[in-house]
Structure formats: structure tokens, C-alpha cells
Amino acid sequence: MPPDASFDVFTCLDGVRRHDAESARALVEHLFPLVIKIVRSYRSRRLAEEDLAQEIFLKMFTRLEQYHGRNGVPFEHWLSRIAVTTCLDGLRAEKRRPEYRWADLSDGEREWVEFWAAKESVPLPTDAIGAREAVGKLLALLSPEDRLVITLLDLEERTLAEIGTLTGWGISRIKVRAFRARQKLRKHALKMQKESKL
Amino acid sequence: MNEFDRRWKMGIAARDDAGQAPESAPFGFATRVVADWLEMARAEPSFATLWQALAVRLLGMLTMLLAVLVAYDALTSPRPTLLQPEIENAVADAVCFL
């Protein structure tokens, strides 16, 4: 469900500052699609997506005094930054990254991994769910920072300037990290594909 | 864009076609979040919370107090001379005694 464009965030924020429960509920329901989209992009294996979304909303309420709406920063951008850093912290808290082996992949996922790893011409796989799962599994093998930059740049198609605002990183740093992260993705795809031939 | 990047983008495009679960908040989610927040807001502030809120201000006040005392001391205390008479006398007495 797309967010309601006529929703008045600032009136709601005034209510929240007065600890009005109805305004707070309306704000959570309005912003849930934005938050859950970010959570699903970075979800930590350890935390369920609803728990992570709840943590983000609680941070939003407790830090609301820090948002002044000056410089024309939309509230949604401010909240997105909280959501991204909370998810990143969740990923960093995981001591070990998963190790997916060829045997762990479904047929649809295998087709996509073979497609990414191949140098020669290979028919384009058609399994959309396989693509979603395979993208998620390859991303899970990256470090939290690499995963963040690929998610923002490739999956969410955000501009370099937007990513800079969300992460506080410089443009060059984002470009270099994205380049290296894609190289790592390719290495992981090749490694998995080699396992299939053993 | 190299061959892998091109293929990776194709995978992401296919992934977008897979769709996602409904995005509206699950029933009761907003109520639960708001209840937790209001409970947190109503809770008595702990020592740690108070310390977090007041530590920086306290440090600032102490720094200002220290600066005022240093300035007062610098303005009011007499300039130290190289040899204080009291010390000279004490040294002379000690030498005579020996």
C-alpha cells in the first residue's frame, strides 16, 4: 500500500510531542511501509523484521526532539537514516556471516548463480523468486557496509548524493566500496559455482 | 559496466518482479509500539538516564567554574618574586644554626 500523500506529518509530530497516542499510532501506520522496506533490504538473520521495525520506531519517538525540520530535511529522510543505521548495527552485531553452499540453494537460485558466474553466453533464468532469494543470499555473504552500499545503490536505486546523506560517506568512498563489493559478489558466485562441479 | 555488473542488474530486475509481502502494518503493531513508547516515557528516569542527560552540562559548568577561578587567581594573587624574604630568612637562619 503506497503511503498517503495527503497525510500531514508535521501535525502528527506536534501530537506526538504532546504524547498523544492517537497521533503516534497514525504516524507509525503511515511510516510503516517506508521502514519495513528498509528492514527487508537489510534484515539481520538474528532479528525478526517486526522486532527491528519496532526498535526503529521506538528510536524515532525517543529521539524526536533531535528533529527540527530545519534546512528542509523531510521527516522521512531523517527516519530513513535511523532505520539504516539500526539495521547496520544489527548486521554488525552478528559475529559470523552465513556460509551458503551449493547444496543450500534451490534450483531457481542455482540458475541465477550460474548465470552470474558464467563468462560465456548463458540463457537468462526466468525464476523471479529464485532471483530474489539468490540476491539475498549473495548479499548476506558481504560485510554490513558492502551490503549497505549495494542495497542502496543497486536494489533501491538511490543516487550517490542520497547515499551520502544517509550514510555520511563521501561520493568517492561510495563508488570505491560499490566497485569492490560487486567484485566480492562475483567471487562468491564463482566459488559457489565451482562447488557444483566437485 | 563489466559483464558481471550487467548480469547482476538483470538479476535485480528479475527480483523486483517477484513482488513483496503486503507492506501495511500488521494488526496491533502500531498500538504495541506506542504502548511501549508511552511506558518508556512514563518510567522514572534511572540514574544512568539522568547521568546521560546531565553529564555534558555538568562538565561544561565545572569547566566554566574552573576557568573563572583560574582567572580570579591570576588577577588577585601578587606577582611572585624570584626570592621571597621569608624564604631568604629561613635559609639564613638555617645556615647560622649549622
A87 and A114 belong to one structural domain: no
Instruction: Compute the distance between CA of residue A137 and CA of residue A157 in angstroms, rounded to an integer.
Output: 19
CATH assignment at residue A23: 1.10.1740.10
pLDDT for res A29 = 94
A56 and A130 belong to one structural domain: no
Task: Answer with the one of A68, A93, A118 that is the final residue of a domain.
Answer: A93
Q: Is residue B34 part of a domain?
A: no
- Examine the pLDDT at B23 and tell me if it is beyond 80: no
pLDDT tens track for B34-93: 999 988 888 766 677 778 778 888 999 999 999 999 999 888 877 666 556 666 677 777
A119 and A161 belong to one structural domain: yes
CB contact under 8 A, A32 and B23: yes
pLDDT for res B76 = 83
* Total number of domains constituting chain A: 2
What value does the mean pLDDT take over residues A65-85? 85
CA distance B60 to chain A (A): 20
Q: Is residue A1 part of a domain?
A: no
CATH assignment at residue A185: 1.10.10.10
pTM: 0.68
- Examine the pLDDT at A45 and tell me if it is beyond 70: no
What range defines the domain where residue A83 resides?
Answer: 9-93
- Examine the pLDDT at A1 and tell me if it is beyond 70: no
CB contact under 8 A, A58 and B23: no
A13 and A73 belong to one structural domain: yes
Probe site for chain B from A20, A52, A79, A112 (most B CB atoms < 10 A): A112
Instruction: Compute the distance between CA of residue B11 and CA of residue B16 in angstroms, rounded to an integer.
Output: 9
Selected residue with higher pLDDT from A72 and A155:
A155
Q: Is residue B83 part of a domain?
A: yes
Letter string b/e over residues A10-41, b meaning 16 or more CB atoms within 10 A of that residue's CB: eebbebbeeeeeebbbbbbbbbbbbbbebbbb
Task: Answer with the one of A93, A112, A138 that is the final residue of a domain.
Answer: A93
Q: Is residue A3 part of a domain?
A: no
Range in A68-77, A180-189, B2-11 with the lowest mean pLDDT? A68-77
Of B15, B40, B41, nearest to A131 by CB-CB distance is B15
Distances (CA, A) of B13 to A36, A41, A127: 20, 15, 11
pLDDT for res A57 = 95
A55 and A80 belong to one structural domain: yes
Q: Is residue B3 part of a domain?
A: no
Residue A50 in contact with partner chain B when CB distance is under 8 A: yes
* Total number of domains constituting chain B: 1
Q: Which residues contact A105 (CB under 8 A, 6 or more apart)?
A: A113, A134, A137, A192
Q: Is residue B20 part of a domain?
A: no
Probe site for chain A from B37, B38, B40, B42 (most A CB atoms < 10 A): B37
What range defines the domain where residue B98 resides?
Answer: 45-98
Probe site for chain B from A7, A17, A29 (most B CB atoms < 10 A): A29
Q: Is residue A69 part of a domain?
A: yes
pLDDT for res A183 = 94
**Minimum Cα–Cα distance from B42: chain A residue:** A19
Q: Is residue A192 part of a domain?
A: yes
CA distance B62 to chain A (A): 25
- Examine the pLDDT at A120 and tell me if it is beyond 80: yes
Of B8, B17, B22, nearest to A128 by CB-CB distance is B17
What value does the mean pLDDT take over residues A172-190? 94
Q: Is residue A2 part of a domain?
A: no
pLDDT for res B45 = 66
A77 and A108 belong to one structural domain: no
A67 and A106 belong to one structural domain: no
Which chain B residues are within 8 Å of A128, Cβ to Cβ? 14-15, 17-19
Interface confidence (ipTM) of the complex: 0.73
CA distance A96 to chain B (A): 25
Q: Which of B10, B68, B71, B25 is nearest to A154 (CA)?
A: B10
pLDDT for res B83 = 59
Selected residue with higher pLDDT from A184 and B15:
A184
Task: Answer with the one of A37, A71, A93 that is the final residue of a domain.
Answer: A93
CA distance A89 to chain B (A): 20
Q: Is residue A129 part of a domain?
A: yes
pLDDT for res A175 = 94
A38 and A80 belong to one structural domain: yes
A72 and A113 belong to one structural domain: no
Instruction: Compute the distance between CA of residue B3 and CA of residue A66 in angstroms, rounded to an integer.
Output: 45
CA distance A113 to chain B (A): 9
pLDDT for res A49 = 86
